[in-house]
Amino acid sequence: MSALITVRHLVKRFGAKIVLRQMDFTVETGEFVALLGPNGAGKTTFIRILASLARPSLGEVWISGFRLPQQAAAVRRRLGVVSHQPLLYGDLSALENLQFFGRMYAVPALARRIQEVLELVGLSARQRDLVRTFSRGMQQRLAIGRAILHDPDLLLLDEPHTGLDQDACDMLDTALKQVATRGRTVVMTSHDLARIQDLASRFDVLTAGRIVSSRAAPDLPRDGLLAYYRQTLEQQRSPNGGGL
Amino acid sequence: MSGLTSFLSAMGAVIWKDLRAEWRSREIVSAMLVFTLLVIIIFNFALDLQPNIRAGISAGVLWVTLAFAGTLGLNRSMAVEKDRGCLDGLLLAPVDRAAIYLGKALANLVFMLLVALIALPLYGILYNTNLFIPGLLLTVVLGAEGYVAVGTLLASMAVQARTRDILLPILLFPVAVPVVVAAVKATGGFLAGLAWSEIQPWITLLVVYDVIFTSVAFMVFDSIVEE
């Protein structure tokens, strides 16, 4: 395996506030990495930097051999992003949304690719309906379809389960598993530890602006993610933990 | 795909998306149009225009109306992108961001010209003025182009703020003063039947403003929308 993402000494500041502190992070091709952490830990900021939507203040970020932000266009071609917002136009149909983003990414054989993606996310029957008539779960499934339309190497997911009911979460997880089994690299933030334990191959805990612990899925006992996460945060809060 | 083809394709996709979404919702044009018609009617009742001052006052009323209506449209056009996170979706695309800017600006220009196209006949009837003068129509196109060129750029900046609705006019009106003044003077000149030589400096100013501000916006849009 080779490193798809390499982050070295990443710092992100907003004015006087430091959100990411000398952060190091590496993801191998084909890994499904779950980024865990409390609110305000810097997860969303980190995902936005990887997505080239925000600039690092200091440090190096490399994706697929391209450096951010200098080679952002080349990186954008290789990544798909799903956030808690759908990034879709409510006044366009599902089909029109995918047609629009397909044109923006210059997807070859677009009509056929759109039908493949709609089939994958289970929305073929609703493709001509306006997105604003979709449930939140359907919008998130279409958001995954938009993110994988151009067949990216890397998927970045920022709390995609937010606001979804149990059925919608199940459908989203099914779509994510299908995406992951096709060999794509995934980095996902989530607070839903029960769900993410079944999805990810590695769990990194991000708190106070840096990765403080990392554990491969096989090294955790079944249903042991919550205990691992709590223990890691406790260690950081203790006087000798050094994190907070 | 070559760079230019890719650029034009992305720009065309943004225009297609904005026009298609507006055709469905009619949010932007209907708000601009209702506002424009109301202002024209209110000014018509408020001002008792004498024939000797009609040209100057009418031109001012026309451009104040179009400028305010344009601000409504510009705000809404960018709010649609921000509200559902769509701006991030646009910025994630591997295209030159100047293509996104030009696509948005051209769609906004279409909305503003559409409003002008509907408002001008009514305006002509209420103010008893013939507005279908080729030079005047050219002035409307040039004035609207300058206004949306700088307005689209500033709207993309204002939309990042919580106070975006009030921030855009505060940012836009001072910068748009030259284009509004030139458009009012040129429109007044055409309505008063002045010679081309007297109107030409204002038309030249409009063209220069359009070229400069479209070029500046084209170059700085990427920096403006990035965190």
Question: Using CB atoms, which residue from B13, B80, B84 is nearest to A85?
Answer: B84
Interval A101-151: pLDDT, tens: 999 999 999 999 999 999 988 899 999 999 999 998 899 889 989 999 999
Which one-letter DSSP state was computed for residue A128?
T
The three-point CA angle B102-A96-B80 to 5° equals 50
What's the average pLDDT block by block, 10 residues per block, for chain A (244 residues)?
88 93 93 93 94 94 93 92 91 97 96 94 93 91 92 92 81 80 88 88 92 92 88 81 48
CA-to-CA distance for A109 and A113, rounded, in angstroms?
6
Instruction: Collect all residues of chain A within an 8 Å Cβ-Cβ radius of residue B84.
Output: 85-90
Picking from A243, A175, A228, A241, the residue whose alpha carbon sits closest to that of residue A34 is A228
CA distances from A160 to A24, B81, B146, B173 (A): 24, 20, 41, 40
- A42 has a chain B CB within 8 A of its CB: no
Picking from B169, B157, B208, the residue whose alpha carbon sits closest to that of residue B64 is B169
**Which residue from B minimizes the CA distance to A79?**
B92
Q: Is A7 helix (H, G, I), strand (E, B) or coil?
A: strand
How far off is chain B from A95, nearest CA to CA, in Å? 12
Q: Please say whether the beta carbons of A209 and A41 come within 8 A.
A: yes
pLDDT at B195: 93
Instruction: Collect all residues of chain B within an 8 Å Cβ-Cβ radius of residue A53.
Output: 88, 91-92, 226-227
**Which residue from A minimizes the CA distance to B15?**
A100
> Can you give the pTM of this predicted structure?
0.89
B72 sits in the region (left: phi over 0; alpha: psi -120 to 50; else beta) called alpha
Q: How many interface pairs between A and B have CB atoms less than 8 angstroms apart?
A: 81
**Which residue from A minimizes the CA distance to B222?**
A53
How far off is chain B from A234, nearest CA to CA, in Å? 33
CA-to-CA distance for B27 and B21, rounded, in angstroms?
9
Q: Please say whether the beta carbons of B39 and B129 come within 8 A.
A: no
CB contact under 8 A, B24 and A91: yes
User: b/e map of B44-58 (b: 16 or more CB within 10 Å)?
Assistant: beeeebeeeebbbbb
> What is the ipTM, given to two decimal places?
0.89
CB contact under 8 A, A100 and B13: yes
Give the H or E element holding residue A188.
Answer: strand A185-189
Give the dihedral sign, CA B8/B134/B191/B194.
positive
Please return the burial class of A136, using the count of CB atoms within 10 Å of its CB with bins 0-12, 13-18 and 19+: middle
How far off is chain A from B95, nearest CA to CA, in Å? 7
pLDDT at A244: 42
Show the tokens assigned to B41: 């009617």
* Mutant choice from B4, B6, B17, B224 vs A, greatest count of A C-beta within 10 A: B17
From first to last of its 227 residues, chain B has per-residue pLDDT tens of 678 899 999 999 999 999 999 999 999 999 999 999 999 888 888 877 666 677 678 889 899 999 999 999 999 999 889 888 899 999 999 999 999 999 999 999 999 999 999 989 988 888 888 888 999 999 999 999 999 999 999 999 998 888 888 899 999 999 999 999 999 999 999 988 899 999 999 999 999 999 999 999 999 998 888 76
Backbone dihedral angles phi then psi of residue A120, each to the nearest 5 degrees: -60, -40
Helix A136-148 crosses helix A94-104 at what angle (to 10 degrees)? 30
pLDDT at A116: 93
Show the tokens assigned to A185: 């690299």
pLDDT at A58: 95
pLDDT at A243: 45
Picking from B34, B88, B39, the residue whose alpha carbon sits closest to that of residue B62 is B39
